[in-house]
Structure 1
Amino acid sequence: MKDFEMCPRFEKAVDMLSKRWVALIVFVLMKGPRRFGEIEGCLSNLSGKVLSDRLKEMEYEGIIERKVYPEIPVRIEYSLTRKGEALAPILKEISGWSSEWIELEAVN
């Protein structure tokens, strides 16, 4: 007999945020709108393909907004929506927790 059932909304939220790079992209965008190359530059080891895929997924989920400026060359910026901004306190808590509890290995 099952005495615990996971809330489907909680499960979807954790699944979405646990996809590689999603939380880090949100963290980068917490400082304000960024262009693709700026986001890519903030996150080492992230390929352009994966970043593109994650941005599309996050836009579909309503976490980020993609704004195209009709300039030459075209300028595209990504920013958090209200839904994405609502993640800021959660990520700040994780940041504080990691500062206190996560040890990094010494780099030689």
Structure 2
Amino acid sequence: MPEQASSTTGSETGNTSICEVLQILGAKWAFLVLNELLNGPQRFNQLRRNVSVIKTQSLTDTLRHLEHNGLVRRQVFPTVPVTVEYSLTEKGSDFQTALKEMDKWVQKWGNSRQIDERTGAST
């Protein structure tokens, strides 16, 4: 098997990197949660309101996955009732660069940009 590992091509290595990123991020909502937490620490219900397109269970699963992979910190405060706050770790904050690049890409190529089929001009 070591021979197979040494014979990977550049594109296979790139695919492996992309797969690793997707495994770390996990759920499809991870990008949205990470982007929201860039605004600072948030309690669960505040985060749920801010990313209202995500169902509660999906948000819970996404936060658990991101915490397990070291991108999100879950801090429990001993209050009555218990207060839980979510924030980005250094690893999670470092993902901001990738999110900004994704934002640039969608600004250029996203669905909100309409092309006039007759002239090819942007509207």
Pair 1:6–1:62, CA change in 2 (3 A): same
> Which of 101, 105, 109 is residue 93 of structure 1 equivalent to?
101
Unpaired segments ≥5 residues, structure 2: 1-7, 114-123
Distance 2:98 2:26 in 1: 13
Identity %: 31
SS at match of 1:62: coil
Whether the 8 Å CA contact 1:27–1:91 is kept in 2: the answer is yes
Point out 4+ residue stretches in structure 1 off by more than 2 angstroms. Answer: 6-10, 14-19
Alignment of 1:6 with 2:13, yes or no, is: yes
Residue 48 in structure 1 maps to residue 59 in structure 2: no
Structure 2 residue aligned with 1:62: 70
TM-score scaled by structure 1? Answer: 0.84
Say if 1:16 and 1:22, in contact at 8 Å, map to a contact too.
no
SS in 1 for 2:13: coil
Q: CA RMSD in A?
A: 2.3
Greater relative contact order (Cα < 8 A, sep 6+): 1
Alignment of 1:1-40 (within 5 A): 3=9, 4-7=11-14, 8-17=16-25, 19-40=27-48
| Gap regions ≥5 residues in structure 1 | none
The CA deviation at 1:18 is 6.2
**Which structure: larger Rg?**
2
2-side partners of 1:25 and 1:57: how far apart? 11
More displaced 10-residue stretch of structure 1: 81-90 or 36-45 = 36-45
- Report the Cα offset of residue 22 of structure 1: 0.3
